[in-house]
Structure 1
Amino acid sequence: MARTEYYDDPDAPEPNSMVVAASAVVTDDMGRILLQRRRDNDLWALPGGGMDMADSLPGTAVREVKEETGLDVEVTGLVGTYTDPRHIIAYSDGEVRRQFNVCFRARIIGGGLGISDESTELRFVGPEELDTLPMHHTQRLRLTHYLENRDQPYLG
Structure 2
Amino acid sequence: MEYYKELRKFVGHSPLILPGSVVIIVNEKGELLLQERDNYFWGLPGGLMNLGESLIETAKREVFEETGLQINNLILLDVLSGPDYFYKNPNDDELYSVTAVYTTTDYIGELMPDMDESKSLKFYNVNYLPEKMEQEYKDCINAYLRTLNR
TM-score range, shorter chain: 0.7 to 0.9
1:55 maps to which of 42, 53, 78? 53
What residue in structure 2 maps to residue 127 of structure 1? 126
What residue in structure 1 maps to residue 64 of structure 2? 66
Structure 1: 5+ residue stretches without partners = 1-13
TM value normalised by structure 1: 0.79
TM value normalised by structure 2: 0.82
Distance 2:14 2:147 in 1: 33
Q: Moved runs in structure 1, 4+ residues, more than 6 A?
A: none
* Residues 1:92 and 1:145: Cα distance change in structure 2 (over 3 Å): same
What residue in structure 1 maps to residue 30 of structure 2? 31
| Greater fraction helix | 2
Deviating more after overlay: 117-126 vs 80-89: 80-89
| Pairing 1:3-22 to 2, within 5 Å after superposition | 16-22=15-21
Distance 1:91 1:75 in 2: 33
Structure 2: 5+ residue stretches without partners = 1-12
| Greater fraction strand | 1
Q: CA RMSD in A?
A: 2.1
* Residues 1:83 and 1:125: Cα distance change in structure 2 (over 3 Å): same
